[in-house]
């Protein structure tokens, strides 16, 4: 960043005022394609820490992206219950700035690509944190996440994004009204399953790029959750879908089955195996269809770096539909439509 950049100047001033330290350098971190939110690593000349991460949340999310609440008080609530999240070192809520512990540069994706032998252990820990999140409650009523949920509006947004960007990319042409209706019908089946399911706290984007890996703490834990401001209430399978049907890391089916069962058995009031499996597949359809659309939305804005992940992402959708198509004609219709696409 340029020293004349207004955000850099703000960050330097804030660190000096709150931490009594001088910022030596500022580097821009990947923002995950969310244009209104930026992340910056600050190296300090001296002070309480050597580096920290500044999270700057400004403006409105892009088209089709639902707004999210501030990071606090959710981060503090999770930290108070032993959930591994970055410490907050300072910030300015009015300016949308949080100064956070730098938990490192190694994501779960990075770790398992570099050291495949640690994959099972790290993913097992990640699954155990899903269950830990679901055991939390907020009697105070102060944490936004417990007042937000995977609901009809959220499911409808996923359907719209897929019909607007994902389906045309698959078909090689704009979708017809009948094809768009086919998508909406299948997503209505997903919504019915969501509305009938128990609701538990979910990170919402619990995937390999939002889990950092660092040296084990005294209890042997290695993972740190980031990008958690979108947390909401969802069926108990939601975070497991995000993690085990990840856009960036495709796990072997046998390992997915093992880890899904580990998660199912550990969550509060475990669902029976069939209910868990069916909801897992239905949520895969909605979640990964949206993620496939996102790959093409970003490409349309000039960022083609996500396109290599698109094939695996739509593959999740097709295979999940194949497993549940017999349950409802609307699912069978979408399975046929996607199967017919080039």
Number of H helices, E strands in the chain: 12, 9
Asked if residue 279 belongs to a domain, the reply is yes
Q: Do 188 and 56 have their domain in common? A: no
Q: What is the CATH number of the domain that holds 276?
A: 3.90.1200.10
Q: Do 128 and 239 have their domain in common? A: yes
Asked if residue 304 belongs to a domain, the reply is yes
H or E segment to which residue 251 belongs: none
Asked if residue 91 belongs to a domain, the reply is yes
Last residue in a domain, options 56, 76, 101: 101
Do the Cβ atoms of 37 and 57 come closer than 8 Å? yes
- In 3D space, the residue among 162, 109, 190, 174 whose CA is nearest the CA of residue 295 turns out to be 162
Asked if residue 292 belongs to a domain, the reply is yes
Asked if residue 239 belongs to a domain, the reply is yes
Last residue in a domain, options 52, 72, 101: 101
Asked if residue 1 belongs to a domain, the reply is no
Q: Do 186 and 318 have their domain in common? A: yes
Q: Do 175 and 93 have their domain in common? A: no
Last residue in a domain, options 101, 133, 159: 101
Q: Do 143 and 228 have their domain in common? A: yes
Spatial CB neighbours of 162, under 8 Å, sequence gap ≥ 6: 183, 289, 290, 292, 293
Q: What is the DSSP letter of 212?
A: E
Quote the CA–CA distance of 38 and 124 in Å, as a whole number.
Answer: 30
- In 3D space, the residue among 94, 58, 59, 55 whose CA is nearest the CA of residue 75 turns out to be 55
- Give this prediction's pTM: 0.94
Q: Do 65 and 188 have their domain in common? A: no
Q: Do 77 and 142 have their domain in common? A: no
Helices (H), 27-73: none
Per-residue tokens: 81: 């219950």
> What is each CA distance from 227 to 15, 98, 224, 284, in whole angstroms?
21, 12, 10, 20
Asked if residue 142 belongs to a domain, the reply is yes
pLDDT tens for the chain, residues 1 to 342: 555 588 999 999 999 999 999 999 999 986 544 557 889 999 999 878 999 999 998 766 666 566 789 999 999 999 999 999 999 999 999 999 999 999 999 999 999 999 999 999 999 999 999 999 999 999 999 999 999 999 999 999 999 999 999 999 999 999 999 999 999 999 999 999 999 999 999 999 999 999 999 988 877 889 999 999 999 999 999 999 999 999 999 999 999 999 999 999 999 999 999 999 999 999 999 999 999 999 999 999 999 999 999 999 999 999 999 999 999 999 999 999 999 777
Q: Do 213 and 291 have their domain in common? A: yes
Asked if residue 117 belongs to a domain, the reply is yes
Count Cα atoms within 13 angstroms, Cβ side, for 290. 22
Domain with 52 in it: 6-101
Per-residue tokens: 220: 């042997």
Q: Do 78 and 125 have their domain in common? A: no
Q: Do 88 and 171 have their domain in common? A: no
Q: Do 196 and 123 have their domain in common? A: yes
Torsion of CA 87, 203, 156, 292, to 10 degrees: 90
Residue 64's pLDDT is: 59
Q: Do 325 and 286 have their domain in common? A: yes
* E strand map for 115-249: 200-202, 211-213, 223-225, 232-234
What is the total count of domains within the chain?
2
Do the Cβ atoms of 120 and 214 come closer than 8 Å? no
Quote the CA–CA distance of 21 and 340 in Å, as a whole number.
Answer: 60
Residue 210's pLDDT is: 97
């Amino acid at each position: 960043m340029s020293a004349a950049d207004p955000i850099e100047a703000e960050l330097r001033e804030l660190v000096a005022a709150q931490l009594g330290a001088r910022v030596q350098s500022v580097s821009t971190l990947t923002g995950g394609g969310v244009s209104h939110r930026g992340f910056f690593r600050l190296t300090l000349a001296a002070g309480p820490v050597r580096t920290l991460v500044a999270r700057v949340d400004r403006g409105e999310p892009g088209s089709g992206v639902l707004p999210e609440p501030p990071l606090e008080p959710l981060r503090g609530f999770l930290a108070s219950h032993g959930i591994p999240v970055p410490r907050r070192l300072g910030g300015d809520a009015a300016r949308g700035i949080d100064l956070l512990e730098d938990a490192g540069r190694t994501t779960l994706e990075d770790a398992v690509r570099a050291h495949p032998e640690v994959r099972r252990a790290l993913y097992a820990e990640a699954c155990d944190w899903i269950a830990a999140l679901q055991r939390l409650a907020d009697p105070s009523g102060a944490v936004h996440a417990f007042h937000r949920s995977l609901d009809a509006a959220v499911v409808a947004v996923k359907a719209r994004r897929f019909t607007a960007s994902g389906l045309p990319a698959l078909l090689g042409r704009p979708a017809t009204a009948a094809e768009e209706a086919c998508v909406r019908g299948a997503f209505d089946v997903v919504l019915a399953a969501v509305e009938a399911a128990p609701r538990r706290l979910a990170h919402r984007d619990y995937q390999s790029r939002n889990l950092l890996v660092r040296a084990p703490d005294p209890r042997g834990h290695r993972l740190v959750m980031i990008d958690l401001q979108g947390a909401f209430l969802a069926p108990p399978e939601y975070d497991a879908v995000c993690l085990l049907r990840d856009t960036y890391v495709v796990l072997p089916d046998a390992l997915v089955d093992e880890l899904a069962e580990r998660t199912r058995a550990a969550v509060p009031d475990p669902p029976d195996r069939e209910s868990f499996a069916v909801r897992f597949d239905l949520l895969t359809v909605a979640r990964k269809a949206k993620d496939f659309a996102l790959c093409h939305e970003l490409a349309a804005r000039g960022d083609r770096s996500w396109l290599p992940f698109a094939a695996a992402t739509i593959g999740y959708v097709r295979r999940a539909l194949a497993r549940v198509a017999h349950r409802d004609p609307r699912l069978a219709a979408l399975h046929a439509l996607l199967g017919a696409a080039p």
